[in-house]
Every structure is written in C-alpha cells, then in structure tokens.
Structure 1
Amino acid sequence: MPPRNPIGHQSRLHRLAAAAATAAIVAAAPAEARVTRIVIDSVAPLAGQAIPYEQIRGRAFGELDPNDPHNSIVTDIKLGADADGKVRYETSFNLVKPVEMNRASGFLWHDVPNRGGAGTLVVEERELGDVGLRSGWQADNAGNTGIPANRAAGTNHWVAAPIAKVDGLAVTGKVFARIVNQGGAASQPLMVQANPVPYLPATLDTAKATLKTHTRETVDGVVTEGPGIAPGDWAFAKCDAGNPFPGTPIDNNPANAPGNLPVHICLRNGFDPKLLYQVVYPAHNAYILGVGMAAFRDVGAFFRHEAADDFGTRNPVAGVIKGTAVRGVSQSGNMVRQFIFMGLNQDERNRKVYDGAWPIIAGRRVAANSRWAQPDGVLELYQQGSEGPQWWVDWPDPVRKQPTGSIFSRCNTNDTCPKVIEHFGSAEVYALKLPPEWIGTAGDADIPLPRNVRRYYVPSSHHGGGAGGFTHMPAASAGPSCPGNNFGRGTLAANPVPHTEITNVLRLAMRDWVLNGTPPPPSRWPTLAAKTLVDANRKAMGFPSGVPGIPDSIFLPENFAFPVFDYDWGPQFNHAEASGVPTNVPPSIKKVIPMKVPKVDADGNEIGGVPTVLVMAPLGTYLGFNVTAEGFHRGQVCNYVGGYVPFARTRAERTASGDPRLSLEERYGSHEGYVAAARAAAEKAFAEGFLLPADRDRLIRQASESAVLR
C-alpha cells in the first residue's frame, strides 16, 4: 500500500495550522533547507523603457528537510530524500532589474509562470524601477515544463524534482487520460490542456490498463458509456498509415523523460470523432510536485532576504527590496492560492516571503500537491482543483462534510498572510467553478472578506479579457477557439470587453498598498445580499429570450454553468487538503454542487462588479460563455471563452430579426450620442477609482474615432 500523506488524515484544518505554528516556534534556529547556490547563465540588456535594464537568467539549487514543518506539508516528500535525508531540487529563474540599482523602486514582483511560459516584467513596471523575478514551480517535467537537455539554455521555466521511491523502487499507481474530438488518425497523444500527461506507463501491457469510450457527457456529470476496447485492439504506440497497428511502442523509461512524452495510444481501427476515449493505466514516475512549490518559495526568499549563496555568489538585488508581491494569471494564479493555503508564505527561517499576492482570473487552487496530480488541468471532468476551501476566511463546508477552514488557515497562525488583490471575469463563473469562493458549497450566504483581501469582478467579460475597442460588428470568423483539451469552437463572436484598464489600476494599487499602506478601492463583486448573484438558469438570471444565436437550451443544467463535483478519490486522498494519493481513478461523483451566476439586465449584460466602459455603453450583449459549435460538446458552454452578440443597427433590422434588444439608433440616436454615452461611462469609472486618467482619455478618444453609427 502506498505511504500515507504526512498530514493526510488530520480531522481539522485549524488543528493542522496550530501544530505547524507550534513546530515553527520550537524550530527557532535557522533550518538548513534553503537555496544553497545560484548560477548565472546569461546577462543581457532589456530595451523598451527609459531606465537601463538587464535580464539575468540562471538556476537555483536548493535542499529541503522533510522533517521541517515548513516542508512536511508536501505529499511524498520523504520518498524523495537522498542518502543524507535531504530532498534536493534545481529550478530555473529569470531576474529583471535596473542596471544601476540606485534607480530601483525597491518593489519586487515574483511572477508565477503559466505552464512554464517565459515572460518578463512589463514596460509600465520597468518605468517605475520595479524588479521582476520569474522562476519554476511546476515539477511535472512535461511539454513546456520539461527539463531541457541543456539546463543553462532555454527560456521556459522548470523544476528538477525527485520522483517518489520506496526502497529504491519507483512507486506505481493509476493515472487517467482522455482523448476527445479526434478522428481519422490511427494514434493520438495523451494531453492535458496543451501539455502532455506527464506520467509514463509502468508497463506497455494493455491488459494491465483499460480503454473505454463515452458517447456523451453532460456539464453536470452524467456519462453515457460506449463500447470498451479490448486489450488486443490498442497499444501504447505511435502508428499511422505507413506504420499501421500495432505501430512503434513508446519509450516508457522515466530516465528518458521528457523526450518520450507525450504518451501515444494506437488503435487497430483508428479513432471515432463521435466518441470520447478514456484510458486508465499504471504509471511509475510520480514526481513530488510539492517540491516545486517549495522551490518557488525558496527562490523568492533568497532574492528578498539573502546577500549571497553558500558559495559566495552575490544576490544581484541584495539590500534593495522593500516590498514584494507574488502574482499569477489563470493556472499560475491558482498556484498563488495553493501556495498560500500550504503555508508556504513563511520560509524555513520563519520570515514572510511576500507582502502581497495577486491571483488574476483564478478562483481555485491548482492541483500540485497530490501524487499523480495534473497541474495543467482546467477542471474538465475528473480533474482535481476544487477540493477543500477556496475562500479566505474560516467557513464551514457542510455539503462535502469537510472541516471548517480557509486559504488563510495556516498563515493566520503566524502572521504571514499577504495582502491579497484578486480580480476575475465572468468566464470563471460559467466554466471555472468560481462561485464557491464567494458563497461556499452550501451557496446560501455571502462569505465575508477579511481586511487584507480586495476582490474585483469585471462583469460580462471572458477569461483574461478581450481585445477592447469600439467595433460594433466583428469581422466574420469561425468563432473563438474554446480552451481546454481540444474542446471545440464557439458559435458566437469573441467577447471584446477588456481587463487592461482594471489591471493598470490594480498594478499601482498593489504597490501602494504594500509600500505605503494605501488601501485599494472597495471590493466589487456580485452577491446574494444585493440579489446580483442568482441561480444558474435563464429565468433567475433575467436573460432575455430570443437574442440571436443564444438558444434557450444553453441554459439547461446539462449544458450550462459547470458545477463543482464532490469527487471520491479514495481513502488515501485528503479531500480537504487536496493532498495524498488518489486511488479511485477516475473518481466517482458523490455530489453535484450547482453554481450561482450574476444577474443580467434587459440586454443580457451582467449587473454588479466594477464599472467598465463597454458594459455601461454597450454595443451588444457581452457574455462570459459561448456555445460549442460542433463535436463532442456541441450545444454546451464552450469551456471558458466568452461571446458577443451585437445589437441591431436600426429598429427595422431589430424587428426583422426578432431581436428583443433595442438597436443602436434607438439607444444612442447618432454617433455623437454614442460618444457621449462612452464619455459618461469613462468619467464614472474614473470617479470611482477604476480607470486611470490616461486610460479614460484614450477610451473617450477611441469611441470618438470609432465607426459606431457613422
């Protein structure tokens, strides 16, 4: 039987947090676990701003003591120890700073890479003299997070972490993967989002695995199974017309990863695009993913606090940093929430690592601390990420019968909780299961925010925001691609409502809050108390019937608003912590927890949240959802992409199409009338603190220069 997670079976989060805090006080002497060495691989100038900047790429080497209470939260950490009892890692980093550090502001942003992606500090922050740090955390060694052959080269971010072993042998366990909307080709790769499933089969014997098909899956978790596929009719292999079944067997030796990924499945009769294929197989390269989370903590602590490493290599920003914030977007924003939940904002010497945290368009915790977790997952069926508390204050979870707790349960015990700013769009509500963060799993009360958290909701916007501008009729296209594992395309045009302006406001707000103690604007989001958060159906929402392109069927439970599933991952998995070892693969669904969604006005645009110019002076209906055009998910919400349905230009056009919404001419009269509405909206958003002066002026100018009603 696989070893139990070190804290996997405690009964209450408060008890865990108190025990960790007590142990941290007892262990007052500096622990040995830390970044022990940094290597600078390259230094290059960075252009684009007035202050001369340079970009330093390198690697950090560190060690963790599995017995240190700061690290024992990590699932399987003792199974990755070297002979001396320490767990070691290597991780990439990228540091951006002014060449002359006397021109630095003293503020450091530690950005969390999204699926290993490269990036740097934006020009606006470099103009302020800020320091930018980006380092690896995702230790699954696959696709964009794969460890390069030349570790001193490349731009993506990775962590070299050990795999779990018992008596020198790699542990084994069940892993699942799904292939959808694929046909024709004889073999297909096993992917999760855009990266390979990171785990290799322990054996190529398909009799030890299962391959099933589904003919249908509803949004609320009802699965219709199709025919199973006999072990002799498929193989872990690559094949094509020139190399037919059984094809060329894959290399499943962990020593050759990531070069042997993705794993491929070859079918004797090829893939049917009308079916979803689900494979469950024994794997044997269980990366200790939480080591990557701890490595990220240690890199942040090193550049904030240390003068030099153990070998005398100087910290390039030593003595300059006055305030810090960790920041992530989408998947990497979910990592920020998981990082805080695990208590990792306190380093091994009991110091706070980050003063601020900014999880952007991220309403859950990433799956990165259980064995066989898939951090690239986006909450499609049977993917982890909604387990345990997603809220910031202690709150009960009676529906799942989990202990009272919060993301802050651990850091509250030792005063290391950061100041948090979070902002979302409506796509997170409809497809990324955000509402429990606001109302819990019972969904019957608004969860209050603590004083150190601000929340901002951008109504009627899709994941990350749209391109902006004041274009009434979008160019003809096939519809936006729906994110996820080959999910499909939307029937509606892309939603243009941007997040650019709120991001510009919150960037400065975070700096001022951390450096000067200036509080950000008051939080804005839909609530039960204000009756702006309602049941997820057309009637409760007040959504108008007959809007072109939006069938009433989209609002049915089987098609709309992805719910949270209370999965049973088995007795060795801690469902409150989202840690330990899942043994029920795929899991059964114990409960379906329905979502609430924002109420809308007569046009179908959402009520509540921060003021935005396009929603206050609309050119159409802006949606946090879209409708899947074709394929396995046809007619369902098209994962987390938004949509847009323009208003008719004239009353005659509206009447001819049966559109219930007023036309542009009926609303604004003329181009000048529309510009006046956009100006009033911009002035309102500026007066309420949600628009910078430069952005206000730019939006008014763009509206004036637009072709609306010309």
Structure 2
Amino acid sequence: DATVTLTGQDIPYETLTGRAFGELDPSDPLNTLITDIDRAPRVNGRVGYIATFFIVKPVDLSRASGLMWHDVPNRGGRITITPDLRNLHDVGLSSGWQGDNAGATAVPANASTLAPVPPSSNEWVKVPVLTDVTGQIVGRIINRSGLGAQPLNVMGNPIPYFPANSSNNAGATLTTHLHETIDGTITEGSTVPNSDWKFCGGGTFLAPTPVTTLPVRLCLKDGFDATKLYQLVYTVKDPYVLGAGTAAFRDVGAFFKNEAQDDFGTANPLARSIKWAIIRGSSQSGNFTRHFIHLGMNQDEKGRIVHDGAWPLIAGRRVANNSRWGQPDGVLELYQMGSEGPQWWHQFPDTVRGLHPAGILDRCETTKTCPKIVETFGGAEVFALKMTTSWVGTSANNDIPVPKNVRRYYLPSSTHGGGNGTTTENPPNNVVGCPGNNWGTGTLLANPVPATGLVNRMRIALRDWVMRGVDPPPSQWPTLAKKTLVEPTKAAMGFPSGVPGIPDSIFLRENFIFPVFDYDWGPEFNDSDATGNPTNVPPPILHVIKMMVPRVDGDGNELGGVPTVQRDAPLGTYLGWN
C-alpha cells in the first residue's frame, strides 16, 4: 500500500505497508483449536481474515543478513526494528493479530478487499464475527465520580462488545463493591436498581446519548461515587473469532519467510532473502508470544517451523486471545483471563488445579517446531503479573527445570520495562502511572533501574543463537534451590524495617502480591488451553494460587538474577513492585 525510505543505518532501507488477505481451512488440525472456527462464516469452505503488515528491509536485499524479526504489536501499537539491527542488515516485520476491533486495534471502516487503507502506526486484523450469538460478560468501573457517563473499559481501552440491547438493561445486574483485597475477598455494597441506570454513549442519566460506538458507557441517576467499584454483569452480542488473528500472525510470518509469491501471483517482497525468523513481543505482546507457542502455531500449514527464535519480554502469562468473549487487552485484574493452564515451558504437574501435566512447549515438541527462546523480565512481572507460577508451578514446592532451548534472565528490583537509569541521590519527581483500569498513580518515585543493558545484550545473544548456534549465557533467576525465592512475607524476604514509605501493613497477604486465581469458567471452557466459551459470569474462585518472591538484601534490593549497578552499588531501595 505504501513505501517509505528510512535513514539512520549504513545501507539504504525502506518500509513497505500492506495487507494480507488470508483463508483458514477449519478442518485443518492446526486450526481446529481455534475457538468457534467451526461456526465462523465461510466462503468456499474457508474462513477469511485481513491483516495489516509493515516491513522494514534493505533496499538491496542481496545485502540482507537473512534474519527477520517478526514483532508482535502491543494493543495494536507497532513494534519494529531499530537502527542497531538495521546496521546488522536484518529485516523487520510487524503484523496484526488482535481482532477485537476496539481502541488501537480498531479496523478502519474502509478495510475491504478493494478500498485502500491509509498507513498508520497501528496494526489490525479483521477476523470473523459470529452474528446474533449472545453471552454474558463482566464490566467494571473503577475510581470514577460525578453525574457524567463513564466507560466500560479494559486496561484503558473499550470492552470490545456491544450490549445485546443497548436501549434496555433488563437482565443486567449492576452492583457496587465497597472493598476488594488482592487475594479476591470482596465486600459487596448494594445492587443499583435497573431503573436507576442505563446504557449510554455519553451525556447523563437525564440526557443520555445513544450507544453507537465503543466504549459503551453507563449513566447513573445519582452519579458515580469514586469510593465504590461498579460491577456490571450483562448480555453482549457478536463475539469475534479471536484465534483467527493468532493464525493470521502465523500465516503472514510463514509467507514472508518462505514463499516466492501468493496465490494470485503477487511477488513476496522478501522472497529468497529470509533464512531465519524470530518472534518478539513485549508485555501484552510477549504474552501473545507464549500463547502462540502454546497453541502450536509455530508450525505452519505446510508443517514448517515459522519462527526459529522467540523472545517474550516482561511477559508473565498467556494472552486471552482464543476464547469466546476474550479480552486480549486485560492485565489480570479480577475476573480477567490469562493465567489458565500451564504457564511453564516443560510438562509439569498442576496438582492444585487438578489439571493433567502439561507445558507451553507440548505441541511444538511433538511436531519438532519449537523455537530457541530467551525470556527477560523483572520484579513487576513477579509482583503484579503473577510470574512465579511459571517457575515453581501451582504448588510452589519445586523449581521447574528450564528446557535446553530456553534461557531465562531476571532483572532484580526492576519495574515493568525498566527505569530511566538515573543514578543521582535526588531523582526527578517522576509520577508512576499504575497499570490497570483507571487505577491512578503511585505514591513513590519512579524506580530508575534500567533494563536497557540486559535487553541490548540479549538481542545480540538470541540473534547469535539462532543464526550461528552460539549458546547464550546461562540462565539467571531466583530459585528455591538457591534460597533466593521465598514466601511473600516480610520475614521470609528479609525486608528491612524503617524504609520510608513502606509500612509493615504493605506485607499483609491481602495487600502485597497479586496471586493467580483458579476460576471456574464453566463446562464449555477448556481450563488448560483457555479455549471455549466461559459461561460462569462472574466465575467462582476455586483456589488462590500461592506466589513466591525474591529474597532481598539489607537494603531491600532483590537477590538472584542478572546483576545491575543499582543493586550492587545502591543509592537506596529499588522496588520492583513500585
């Protein structure tokens, strides 16, 4: 659709923006795991999709290195290669996977097989929709006040489904919560009478505007109280076949790596120039990377390996992109999916949840299509994103062995993605934005521990491992065996007393660490693969899974993992959970 010349590297580069028009065979064993593909609309027996892509490549492909980085967009936001990789003559590919058509993933109105779509910095994929299918979901409104309409959001983006009848709230239930603890204990308030609220597109209860676009909003007769949480259980319509977006990512990567032309004779602009491919995603898109491998999508429809390497960065779970009513934007707040089934690589028992032994690599090990994997993360992934289940399982009694094709690197005392590297005793007064649905800001200064050094080193290490077979450095992360992974209590951690801004009450179980919840999503849901149709809404919590945390030194800084200057020569206490 468009070509742009780039600068900043030692050889000429250009970008190509376009769309891929694909078809899925719903009877192919590689596609049957896609939830609702058997119910999706078909043309000539096939299920179609349209996905955007963005290529960064040398103008002269004879000078390309042979490596393609297939970057996973984060909530539609494009990620692509930077000048350092262009100076190594690598190729970058970004392509759409998230098909919920909300927020930054919204499909343009002119996205068809005929009309051109203007280039943008976001990727999208148009997946099938099951029209006239309904079901129930949960929406939550947090920290809102006043008489004005308030949105039903998930991680700042709209919940991607419309009410079955936005002009009538019959059958919906709006309740208030007065208090919730991190471990799932809820103090309920009152139920708001249906006569006292309505779906709206904006305005107020007395002067609402109709629902025409996302986000869907609520208008309350007496307005919202910021000291209360508002939880809505309501019927929605027209679910997306989200897993088709995962398959689209597979197919686009496989095409640009392997094919000379498409079915209509259009030439592959990267033909015969790609020998290796690496899938890379950060945070939500890192969760997608783990989800992609778990579903066996690293094998294409011709049986070939799609990505030779994989790099999930700061990713503690699998994304919810293959269930009916899935919300891929979720961040594991209450009643959000993402921690279902195995979060660890190799097959391992799941005794607490009573699931059969399984691992993320099960399917690719069977087909011999597993990539070489580097995973990097820090303290925020432990405390907020529930990472340690992937290290010690649901029973938290033993370290799970790391497979030979995986390297794990933990950056101690670091926040999500790392800080700005400030090393002064008087850091700037940086306000920390808390993740989640309108949670507000933090109370302490931003943690400066940077991830840049580790990320730069691992970028080259993974590249050399994939292209040259050079082993990366040994894995480094806190473990039970080394006594650097302990119970999440002040005493077990060895956290010092008297650190300003850290009262002992923070370490109470109900306040300190986000655990994994074992939900009962109902009989139509596969708890191991996180596929199917969740019918229990909201789901009962069957178990609160035990978390573990890194032990700390006398300054309160974490032990284990990759050493950093800030930890080894600290100017203070660096909290990964700040």
Instruction: Compute the TM-score of the two structures, normalised by the length of structure 2.
Output: 0.97
When the two structures are aligned, how many residues end up with a matched partner? Answer: 571
How far 1:363 moved relative to its partner?
1.6
> 2: distance between equivalents of 1:486 and 1:438?
30
How far 1:289 moved relative to its partner?
0.3
- What does the per-residue CA deviation read over 1:43-73, in whole Å, with 9 as the maximum and x for residues that have no partner? 0101222221101000000000110001001
- SS of residue matched to 1:482: coil
> 2: distance between equivalents of 1:515 and 1:487?
43
How far 1:392 moved relative to its partner?
0.8
Query: Is the CA contact 2:324–2:532 (under 8 Å) kept in the aligned structure 1?
Result: yes
How far 1:246 moved relative to its partner?
5.2
- What does the per-residue CA deviation read over 1:598-644, in whole Å, with 9 as the maximum and x for residues that have no partner? 00000000000001111111111100112xxxxxxxxxxxxxxxxxx
Residue 154 of structure 2 is matched in structure 1 by 192
Residue 217 of structure 1 is matched in structure 2 by 180
Letter in 2 for 1:207: A
How far 1:239 moved relative to its partner?
4.2
Query: Is the CA contact 1:246–1:266 (under 8 Å) kept in the aligned structure 2?
Result: no
> 2: distance between equivalents of 1:246 and 1:67?
50
CA gap of 1:45–1:465, structure 2 versus 1, over 3 A, is same
- What does the per-residue CA deviation read over 1:242-280, in whole Å, with 9 as the maximum and x for residues that have no partner? x552512213xxxxxxxx111111111110000001111
Mind listing any 5+ residue stretches in structure 2 that lack a counterpart?
Answer: 112-116
Q: Which of 217, 226, 235 does residue 189 from structure 2 map onto?
A: 226
Q: Which of 149, 164, 167 does residue 130 from structure 2 map onto?
A: 164
CA gap of 1:124–1:616, structure 2 versus 1, over 3 A, is same
- SS of residue matched to 1:226: strand
Map residues 186-335 of structure 1 onto 2, 5 A cutoff. Answer: 186-204=148-166, 205-240=168-203, 244-245=205-206, 247-251=208-212, 260-335=213-288
> 2: distance between equivalents of 1:249 and 1:590?
39
Residue 97 of structure 1 is matched in structure 2 by 57
> 1: distance between equivalents of 2:429 and 2:523?
52
How far 1:472 moved relative to its partner?
1.6
Map residues 490-529 of structure 1 onto 2, 5 A cutoff. Answer: 490-529=442-481
> 1: distance between equivalents of 2:410 and 2:249?
28
Residue 544 of structure 1 is matched in structure 2 by 496
Letter in 1 for 2:489: N
> 1: distance between equivalents of 2:348 and 2:26?
30
Query: Is the CA contact 1:464–1:499 (under 8 Å) kept in the aligned structure 2?
Result: yes
- SS of residue matched to 1:227: strand
Query: Is the CA contact 2:147–2:222 (under 8 Å) kept in the aligned structure 1?
Result: no
Q: Does the alignment pair 1:531 with 2:491?
A: no
Letter in 1 for 2:123: H
Map residues 425-436 of structure 1 onto 2, 5 A cutoff. Answer: 425-436=378-389
How far 1:506 moved relative to its partner?
0.6
Query: Is the CA contact 1:246–1:268 (under 8 Å) kept in the aligned structure 2?
Result: no
> 1: distance between equivalents of 2:71 and 2:247?
15
Map residues 589-604 of structure 1 onto 2, 5 A cutoff. Answer: 589-604=541-556
> 1: distance between equivalents of 2:110 and 2:210?
27
Map residues 29-40 of structure 1 onto 2, 5 A cutoff. Answer: none
How far 1:83 moved relative to its partner?
4.5
Map residues 544-623 of structure 1 onto 2, 5 A cutoff. Answer: 544-623=496-575
- SS of residue matched to 1:61: strand
Residue 462 of structure 1 is matched in structure 2 by 415
How far 1:481 moved relative to its partner?
1.1
Map residues 59-78 of structure 1 onto 2, 5 A cutoff. Answer: 59-78=19-38
- What does the per-residue CA deviation read over 1:424-464, in whole Å, with 9 as the maximum and x for residues that have no partner? 11001001000010000000000001100000000000000
Query: Is the CA contact 2:399–2:481 (under 8 Å) kept in the aligned structure 1?
Result: yes
How far 1:311 moved relative to its partner?
1.6
Query: Is the CA contact 2:163–2:236 (under 8 Å) kept in the aligned structure 1?
Result: yes
- SS of residue matched to 2:53: strand
> 1: distance between equivalents of 2:135 and 2:317?
26
Map residues 609-688 of structure 1 onto 2, 5 A cutoff. Answer: 609-626=561-578
> 2: distance between equivalents of 1:238 and 1:269?
17
Query: Is the CA contact 1:235–1:246 (under 8 Å) kept in the aligned structure 2?
Result: no
> 2: distance between equivalents of 1:75 and 1:46?
40
Instruction: Compute the TM-score of the two structures, normalised by the length of structure 1.
Output: 0.79
Q: Does the alignment pair 1:155 with 2:118?
A: no
Residue 352 of structure 2 is matched in structure 1 by 399
Query: Is the CA contact 1:234–1:246 (under 8 Å) kept in the aligned structure 2?
Result: no
Residue 74 of structure 2 is matched in structure 1 by 114
> 2: distance between equivalents of 1:244 and 1:606?
50
> 2: distance between equivalents of 1:547 and 1:469?
20
- What does the per-residue CA deviation read over 1:277-325, in whole Å, with 9 as the maximum and x for residues that have no partner? 1111111120000000000000000000000111221111110111110
Map residues 361-372 of structure 1 onto 2, 5 A cutoff. Answer: 361-372=314-325
Q: Does the alignment pair 1:176 with 2:138?
A: yes
Query: Is the CA contact 2:147–2:221 (under 8 Å) kept in the aligned structure 1?
Result: no
> 2: distance between equivalents of 1:426 and 1:119?
23
- SS of residue matched to 2:177: strand
CA gap of 1:327–1:555, structure 2 versus 1, over 3 A, is same
Letter in 1 for 2:6: L
- SS of residue matched to 2:104: helix
Query: Is the CA contact 1:303–1:317 (under 8 Å) kept in the aligned structure 2?
Result: yes
> 1: distance between equivalents of 2:130 and 2:540?
26
Query: Is the CA contact 2:40–2:47 (under 8 Å) kept in the aligned structure 1?
Result: yes
> 1: distance between equivalents of 2:85 and 2:511?
42
How far 1:559 moved relative to its partner?
0.5
Query: Is the CA contact 2:198–2:205 (under 8 Å) kept in the aligned structure 1?
Result: no
Query: Is the CA contact 1:186–1:268 (under 8 Å) kept in the aligned structure 2?
Result: no
Higher fraction of helix: 1
> 2: distance between equivalents of 1:185 and 1:594?
41
Query: Is the CA contact 2:6–2:14 (under 8 Å) kept in the aligned structure 1?
Result: yes
Letter in 2 for 1:330: S
> 2: distance between equivalents of 1:95 and 1:585?
41
Question: Which portions of structure 1, spanning 4 or more consecutive aligned residues, are displaced by more than 6 angstroms?
Answer: none
Query: Is the CA contact 2:395–2:546 (under 8 Å) kept in the aligned structure 1?
Result: no
> 1: distance between equivalents of 2:252 and 2:517?
35
CA gap of 1:239–1:195, structure 2 versus 1, over 3 A, is closer
> 1: distance between equivalents of 2:323 and 2:6?
39
How far 1:150 moved relative to its partner?
3.9
Computed over aligned residues only, the root mean square deviation of the Cα atoms, in angstroms, reads: 1.0
Letter in 2 for 1:108: M
- SS of residue matched to 1:282: strand
Letter in 1 for 2:350: D
Q: Does the alignment pair 1:43 with 2:6?
A: no
- SS of residue matched to 2:509: coil
Letter in 2 for 1:266: C
Of residues 205-214 and 392-401 in structure 1, the stretch that sits farther from structure 2 once superposed is: 205-214
Query: Is the CA contact 1:235–1:249 (under 8 Å) kept in the aligned structure 2?
Result: no
The percentage of aligned residue pairs carrying the same residue is 59
Letter in 2 for 1:588: P
- SS of residue matched to 1:294: helix
How far 1:84 moved relative to its partner?
2.3
Residue 365 of structure 2 is matched in structure 1 by 412
